Structure 1
Amino acid sequence: MDDTLPTPTAERVREASPSRANERIRRMTEAHIAYAARQGPQYIEERLAELDREWDIERCLEATAASFSLIGMTLGATVNRKWFALPAVVAAFLLQHAIQGWCPPLPLLRRLGVRTADEINRERYALKVLRGDFADVPSTDVTHSVDEVLGAIRH
C-alpha cells in the first residue's frame, strides 16, 4: 500500500488505538460469537438485536463532542466567556479524529470496549452465518462453522 494515501476509514481507529485494547475487543467479539453458537437460534436473534442498539466509536465521539460543545456554549453565555474555548477545543479534537483517526478520548473509549462499526458488523455477519443466512457458507456443523467464522473475521 502507498504510504502517502490516508488510512482507510474502517481501519484508522483500530490503527490509532492501543494494541491491548484492540486485542481485548477482538477476544470479546469472538467470545460472543462462540457463546451464541452454543446457545442457538433464539440467543442469536437476541444478540443481533443488541448489536442493532450498540453505539459504535464514531457515535460515542459525536455525542460526547456535541455534549461538551453545548455545555461550553451554555457556560460561555451564562457564566464566563472563557468557557467558549471548550467548543473550540472539541472541534479541534473532532478535526484531528477525522484526519488521523485519533483524538484524546479515543484510548479511553477503546479501553472501555467501544467498537468500530466495522467490528460490530463483523460480529453481526458471523452471527448471520451461524444462523444460516448465507446459503454458500456451510453452517450445519456448529463447532466446525464457529471455527470457520472466527477465522473469517480475523485480520
Structure 2
Amino acid sequence: MDSWNQNSSDSVRAHTPDGVNRRIDAQVERCVRHMAEQTDRQVISQYLDHLERAWDLNRVVTVAASAVSLLGVALAPRSNNGWKVLGGVAAGLLLQQGLFGFGPLATIARAFGARTRREIDLEKFALKALRGDFERIPREGGPLARANAALVAAQCC
C-alpha cells in the first residue's frame, strides 16, 4: 500500500524527508491493521478518543516556539543578551511556520513523529470505517483487506 496517503498540496509532507513520511505512514498502517483484528468496537472507540486529544504538528510547533520565546523574555533581564536572541529566533521560526506552513521546527517535530492534522484525521476516518460508521468497507475478507479498504475510504473524506 504505497499510495494511500498521497496529497500533492500537503506542504508538510512535501518538505519532510521520504523516510520520515514512510515511518509515520507505517505507524498508521500498523495501528489500522491491529484495529482491524479487534472484535470489540469499544477498543476502536477508545483509540478514537485518544486520537481526538492528539496534538498535531502545528500545535507542537506553536507550543514549543512559544515556550522558548517566553523563556527568553523571562531570563533576558537576569543575564546577557543571548536569551533575548534565543527568544527572537524562536519567534521568527514561529512566524515562518505560520506564513509558510513549514519550517525548521516542523522538521524537528516530524523527526520525532509529530503528525499533521490531516494525517491524524486519515487514521480517524479509517478507524471509523472499520468500526462500521461507513458502508464502503466490506465485511468479508481478512483484517488486511479490511484495513486496506478502510485506508482507501479514509482518503476520500
Normalising by structure 1, we get a TM-score of: 0.83
119-128 or 97-106, which deviates more: 97-106
Partner residue in 1 for 2:4: none
Aligned residue identity for 2:104? P
Structure 2 distance, partners of 1:114, 1:34, is 20
Structure 1 segments unaligned to the other structure (5+ residues): 1-6
Partner residue in 1 for 2:15: 16
Once superposed, what is the RMSD of the aligned Cα atoms? 2.1
Structure 2 distance, partners of 1:22, 1:99, is 22
Shift of 1:154: 6.0
Aligned residues: 146
Structure 2 distance, partners of 1:37, 1:79, is 56
68-77 or 90-99, which deviates more: 90-99
Is residue 2:137 matched to residue 1:138?
yes
Kept in 2: contact 1:129–1:149 (CA 8 A): yes
Pairing 1:60-71 to 2, within 5 Å after superposition: 60-71=60-71
Partner residue in 1 for 2:24: 25
Are residues 74 and 89 of structure 1, via their aligned partners in 2, closer, same or farther at CA, if it must alter by over 3 Å?
same
Pairing 1:1-155 to 2, within 5 Å after superposition: 8=9, 11-40=10-39, 41-134=41-134, 136-141=135-140, 143=142, 144-153=145-154
Structure 2 segments unaligned to the other structure (5+ residues): 1-7
Give the secondary-structure state (helix, strand or coil) at the position aligned to 1:39: coil
Q: In percent, how many aligned pairs have the same letter?
A: 34
Structure 2 distance, partners of 1:49, 1:139, is 24
Are residues 153 and 21 of structure 1, via their aligned partners in 2, closer, same or farther at CA, if it must alter by over 3 Å?
farther
